[in-house]
Structure 1
């Protein structure tokens, strides 16, 4: 009896060892249940399994660079991604087999698949390098299935060797659908024309393609003389008042002060230092210069008289010197009338209308400045950047030495010239200390000077 039991144990152990050893899975791979869809950088192998003994599907092939690739998918899947290609390929051989739960393999079948160009390979099909402010811009299109990176260089001066060399500006992941990147070079690298080099690489740091663009013009920005500019006020919001009769609060409000060259508030301080109560010599609009009672967005139209490629619009603020502005309009707080959200549009066919709510002009949105109305004082555009607080200027010499404070709206570069610019103020700042008292409930808007920076001819 003991011999019989021992024999049973030996047989059971042999069977167990045989089961663990790799064997042969007696299943034929059905080619009719397998198909391939070419995709960017490879192919999708689709399959259907109807035998419960199959635990995994195995695909073995060589990629574009001769590397042996093995991909597997479990019975719970119905597809497998075959990767490893940048250039498009036709009739790539792949061995497909089945595996059971013990990794016993069936015989394999030799199939073929095609691939599409990967994003790093097709990048240059629609890539463009074009002029930009003090540098250049790059735009490209890409498929939805993307992988890899692009490296952007320009020919400049190596800061170490002081020799002419290729300088890396940025390495960025290629974005599905495409993107545009903008590069303004610093003063030491600026040039009237640039040579730009772009290379693309996959995730294994293999260079797929490269291209060079020479003589890409760099646009310099200059300030346009604003003495001939006009601010068109379709809704009649600007307060035009030159009343000096009130000795306590002389008034100097009007659109004319937006283009008089006083970007800091020197005229106001000059009158104060002469012993006179200071008038404002500035621009303010309202009430409801942001929205009217019906909820319509108010706006102004800046006419720069001649079409230009414009890159920046600046709205300046009065630099504070300790005297309150006209309390009736400003409610004792100038800065709650300062814009914190501004949209700028451009067109060339604006026509003044007796109905300002009518659409007049083929406007294109070009720029947007957006800051929280409750932003910390140090972060607001009108504050002294050295102190983080409002300016407190007491002398003309200090005014002369101070940096101007301005809101800068960068305008999208599309290479087009525009003459008219629609300015919409969407919101103004809140007073952080006494918002319920120093408020802007009536929707006044104030800024001190307008400047425009455009392409240097």
Structure 2
């Protein structure tokens, strides 16, 4: 019995000892200055601790949007503290503030309330911040710049799973949300009249924040529209050269003219064949091009395509010669005074495309532009860069040539349901002559290997 008395006494002493340890740090929080301002995903707390040597730090306790307890600590070394952990704007979040001494004893808690703004992953999907719009053969996601950004976005669409052959939610891309905003185009290989797009966001802790479904996004599928030389109108020259009826150099010997613009030779196969034959014993240059050449003074002139019916144009595609070793014609050969031993400076770098339903109208609608630097030196700024790489890319023979991909550029037109029968393109400038200080296009000519127009496919 005496044994149990001592055990009971020990437990009572332990209880009183615990109560003594829990005595609060006795200091008033009245002199504590706090200013709270809502920010994305939380609130910024600006504070000024009382001037008291016993105060070591300040603790702030609250619960985040998942109800998890959060402890934030700050000291005299700073003057602000971010109270984060929220996804949607909230009008009254309760927090408890206490002062702490160097023994980690806390004062009586002071209750505060604060407001929050939508977090970046939530605000990303607000209607006024994001747009999911049609794009050619897919869709575009456009989102605006934001002052505060955190989190990831995941973009899906409803399509056929290639493994199960069943309709499924297919991931297209995941990306961090950028402060600068962005426009991302997603081309889709699966053909649908309408697309269902799902955009989901998460925070950097991996928690899903929000999901929005965009239904019935027009797919804007495309097809190449068949054109012939009869569909192409070339303007007449103001000062024609002898025998010239239009701004197209029509030459049987050089194989140039409007017909070559729509003959399907995307890379210059005819010139490649002529160049291989000429290499056996020829001394002069190869005159055959199998291309369209416009001039002289072909800049700022209207070249008109007749689609024969109203179509929604998607883009205009321009091709150039694939690099090959065939030498340009000498000045005394056919069109030698046009080429002057230089090809790339006859390729357009600035072009505007217009649309109309009246060929003779003075009010054409601008649809799209190619606007590259005439003096560009790197591939991303120079669509015809590859055609200058003869020493590296020139094919060995015709089989090698046929295996190469063509060189082209697309002038993208807006994906809107506006149909036009006529397209007009105007060349404003060509690339500079690669040789410094020289201009081998003084006659303002331009050339294209092939010209194609893509339109919205009918349902």
Q: TM-score, normalised by structure 2?
A: 0.70
**Which residue of structure 1 aligns with residue 35 of structure 2?**
35
2:318 paired residue among 290, 315, 336? 315
Deviations 1:292-336 (A, max 9, x none): xxxxxx575554556643333221224557252433221223234
Does residue 182 of the first structure (1) align with residue 182 of the second (2)?
Answer: no
**Which residue of structure 1 aligns with residue 85 of structure 2?**
84
Instruction: Evaluate the alpha carbon distance shift between residue 350 and residue 179 of structure 1 in structure 2; reply closer, same or farther with a 3 A threshold.
Output: farther
1:327 paired residue among 314, 333, 336? 336
CA contact (8 A) 1:25 1:100 kept: no
**Which residue of structure 1 aligns with residue 126 of structure 2?**
125
Equivalent residues in 2 for 1:42-441 (5 A)?
Answer: 42-49=42-49, 51=51, 53=53, 56-99=57-100, 105-126=106-127, 127-141=130-144, 143-176=146-179, 178-186=181-189, 189-227=190-228, 228-230=231-233, 239-242=247-250, 250=253, 257-259=260-262, 262-265=265-268, 278-280=287-289, 282-285=291-294, 302-304=304-306, 308-318=311-321, 320=324, 322-325=326-329, 326-339=335-348, 341-342=349-350, 344-346=352-354, 348=356, 363=366, 365-366=368-369, 368=371, 373-375=376-378, 380-382=385-387, 388-391=392-395, 401=402, 405-411=406-412, 413-417=414-418, 420=423, 422-424=425-427, 427-428=430-431, 431=434, 435=435, 440=440
Q: How many residues align?
A: 409
**Which residue of structure 1 aligns with residue 5 of structure 2?**
none
| Aligned partner of residue 183 in structure 1, secondary structure | strand
Deviations 1:259-309 (A, max 9, x none): 56554446668999899x84545333567877xxxxxxx575554556643
2:355, 2:273 → 1: CA distance?
39
2:397, 2:122 → 1: CA distance?
59
CA-CA distance at 1:202 after TM superposition: 1.4
CA contact (8 A) 1:194 1:218 kept: yes
2:257, 2:47 → 1: CA distance?
75
1:363, 1:391 → 2: CA distance?
39
**Which residue of structure 2 aligns with residue 24 of structure 1?**
25
| Aligned partner of residue 124 in structure 2, secondary structure | helix
- In structure 2, stretches of 5+ residues that fail to align are 1-21, 241-245, 330-334
Instruction: Evaluate the alpha carbon distance shift between residue 437 and residue 42 of structure 1 in structure 2; reply closer, same or farther with a 3 A threshold.
Output: closer
1:437, 1:361 → 2: CA distance?
37
2:304, 2:92 → 1: CA distance?
62
2:311, 2:247 → 1: CA distance?
29
1:343, 1:56 → 2: CA distance?
66
Bigger Cα displacement from structure 2, 371-380 vs 443-452: 371-380
| Aligned partner of residue 328 in structure 1, secondary structure | helix
CA-CA distance at 1:134 after TM superposition: 2.6
Bigger Cα displacement from structure 2, 148-157 vs 370-379: 370-379
Deviations 1:120-151 (A, max 9, x none): 22333314434333333333456432322221
Instruction: Evaluate the alpha carbon distance shift between residue 346 and residue 79 of structure 1 in structure 2; reply closer, same or farther with a 3 A threshold.
Output: farther
CA-CA distance at 1:161 after TM superposition: 3.9
1:178, 1:234 → 2: CA distance?
47
- In structure 1, stretches of 5+ residues that fail to align are 1-20, 245-249, 291-297, 355-359
Quote the RMSD (CA, aligned, Å).
4.6
Q: TM-score, normalised by structure 1?
A: 0.70
1:105, 1:421 → 2: CA distance?
78
1:147, 1:119 → 2: CA distance?
6
2:52, 2:354 → 1: CA distance?
66
CA contact (8 A) 1:240 1:255 kept: yes
CA contact (8 A) 2:249 2:294 kept: no
Instruction: Evaluate the alpha carbon distance shift between residue 181 and residue 430 of structure 1 in structure 2; reply closer, same or farther with a 3 A threshold.
Output: same
